[in-house]
A and B are shown apart, each in its own frame.
Chain A
Amino acid sequence: MSRCAMGKMRHVLLVLMFVPGIALAESAAGDGSAWLQKIASAAHLINYSGTFVYRHDGYMETSRIFHVSDANGEHERLEVLDGPPREIIRDNDEVICYMPEHKAVIVERRKAHKSFPALLPVQLSSINENYAIRLGSMERVAGYDCQNVMLEPRDVFRYGHRLCADSASGLLLKASTLNEKNEVVDQFFFTQASIGGNIDPERLKSKYAVKHQLSQQAMDAPVDPGWLVKSPPPGFMKIMALKRSFPGKKFPTNHLVFSDQLAAVSVFIEPLAGILKPVSGLSSQGAINVYTRPVGEYQVTVLGEVPAVTVMQIGNSVSLLAK
């Protein structure tokens, strides 16, 4: 094949890649999908700062956030303003989390997974399969005119979402998680936001001088063979499986992630021998449900921003195949 023909083919391929996007954008659901795209890119590419409230289980917490996107990537700082001092700082794939009860910071380094400032077509189609996407009403949040985008779950295994984004930039200013009764399970909303412009780099520095660092990270090791999640709820596919370390844990933990490309469920499997106080049962906070049960000599912890039934079904179908 001549180089010229190759070049032409590449053009045709490029055009083909964009055609489905254009076709989607023209349909009503496509408007919703286009908005999801806009929200996903804005979250990563726009500089912004502001104050937001997190509301869950009848409690409210106020936080301040600074986000900078520059030639070196993404840098963020989130600081909780009420209650015990807590802070999260992101520098690309490294997240440092300051929590007073640890008297230390936890450093999480991401591996094997790159954040990408856009939703891939495969992600969008999975979201479309599991949620009905439609545009909602306009709303004013923190002084900005916002477009509501509704994600209505097609079954009971996932929560609904109402995303409200600045109509000009696409920055998400209010996000509500809804249960099957359409009640708000948890919610974030900005009370003040500055979108765009420069942010003083000093704003991204930690306020807490902590000497003690605890590191946790994914390791270059596959999960132990034999572990099986037999019947994850429909639409949840395994997107990641790795061993990882946790601070203070003697043994490495198996970590599997299942996702419908919007919500995710993590399954952590670790030897009971390494756990001081094994627990068994269900726990929740806002949209996060945690289900723990022993399986043989192991403890299985399942958690995610999904209804209790989803973590339970996944947890109950974890089994270890005999070798």
Chain B
Amino acid sequence: MNEQISQLMDGELDDAQAQRFLGALQDSGMRREWQAYHLIGDVLRDTSAVSGDFMARFSQRLTEEPTVLAPRRLPARHSPRMLALSAAASMAAVGLVVWAVLQTGAPHAPAEMAAAKTQQVELASADVNPYLLAHQEYSPSVAMEGMAPYIRTVSEVHGANAR
């Protein structure tokens, strides 16, 4: 599935596959994956993040948007062909809307990024140090730089580590 995410992002899926995949995106787990992929892309491109609750606020405003009641026009005569075309056009429009929402949904990923950023967890050194010690033993930087990098293992953790 993850492979499909990157394929879709790269525009490598054909329409039928893309449709099936977009259906699968309804699954919240999948959607998180999808957002995570965009998040990675955004981080790589150094794109500024949209505020965390963008999607929530967008949905909220959309539901609050008044329904515009406009006087109905006199029915125009359409040839069946025109109808079919306009139906296709609406389909395309729907497609576009879905895509656009998904696209804006993607910056929702920076929400996760932001979350990840604000979710700067503070790890107790007692929890991290054993991991670091185990890690250092296999890091080539130790082969290169000798013992000094081990200072990172025992270095004091100072309050919040947010950068």
Interface residues of A (CB under 8 A from B): 36, 39-40, 43-44, 52, 54, 56-57, 59, 61, 63, 65, 67, 76, 78, 80, 83-84, 86-88, 90, 95, 97, 99, 101-102, 106, 108, 110, 113, 115-116, 119, 123, 156, 163, 172, 175, 186, 188, 216, 218, 230-231, 239-240, 244, 246-247, 255, 257, 259, 261-264, 266, 268, 279-288, 290-292, 301, 303-305, 308-309, 312-313, 316-317, 319
Contact = CB atoms under 8 A, between A and B. Distances in A.
Interface string B102-134: 000000000000011101111111101111111
B60 interface: no
B96 to A, nearest CB: 29
B138 A97 contact: no
Interface stretch (B11-19, B47-55, B75-83, B139-147): B139-147
Nearest to B122: A283
B154 A86 contact: yes
Contact of A285 (B131, B140, B152): B152
A246 B130 contact: yes
A83 B151 CA distance: 13
Contacts, number: 201
Contacts of A88: 147, 150, 153-154
A202 to B, nearest CB: 18
B40 interface: yes
B163 interface: yes
26 contacts: A40-B144, A54-B155, A61-B155, A67-B146, A80-B154, A86-B154, A88-B153, A97-B153, A99-B129, A119-B143, A119-B144, A172-B144, A172-B148, A188-B151, A231-B6, A255-B134, A257-B139, A264-B140, A264-B141, A281-B116, A281-B121, A283-B128, A290-B131, A303-B135, A316-B33, A316-B40
B2 interface: yes
A107 B122 CA distance: 25
A259 B141 CA distance: 10
A283 B152 contact: no
Contact of B135 (A61, A90, A266, A313): A266
Contacts of B154: 80, 86-88, 97, 99
B147 A216 contact: no
B161 A40 contact: no
A123 B144 CA distance: 11
B123 A172 contact: no
A287 B123 CA distance: 15
B113 to A, nearest CB: 9
- B interface majority secondary structure: helix
B44 interface: yes
Contact of B128 (A40, A86, A172, A290): A290
A88 B132 CA distance: 13
Contact of B137 (A40, A95, A286, A308): A95
A88 B148 CA distance: 10
Nearest to A279: B121
A268 B151 contact: no
B87 interface: no
Nearest to A265: B135
Contact of A108 (B43, B133, B143, B145): B133
A313 B132 CA distance: 19
B64 interface: no
B132 to A, nearest CB: 7
A25 B129 CA distance: 39
A268 B146 contact: no
A312 B40 contact: yes
Contacts of A102: 126
B137 A108 contact: yes
Given A52-B148, A78-B151, A188-B151, A257 B36 contact: no
A88 B125 CA distance: 15
Given A268-B131, A280-B121, A281-B121, 6 more contacts: A43-B147, A86-B156, A101-B126, A172-B144, A259-B140, A286-B155
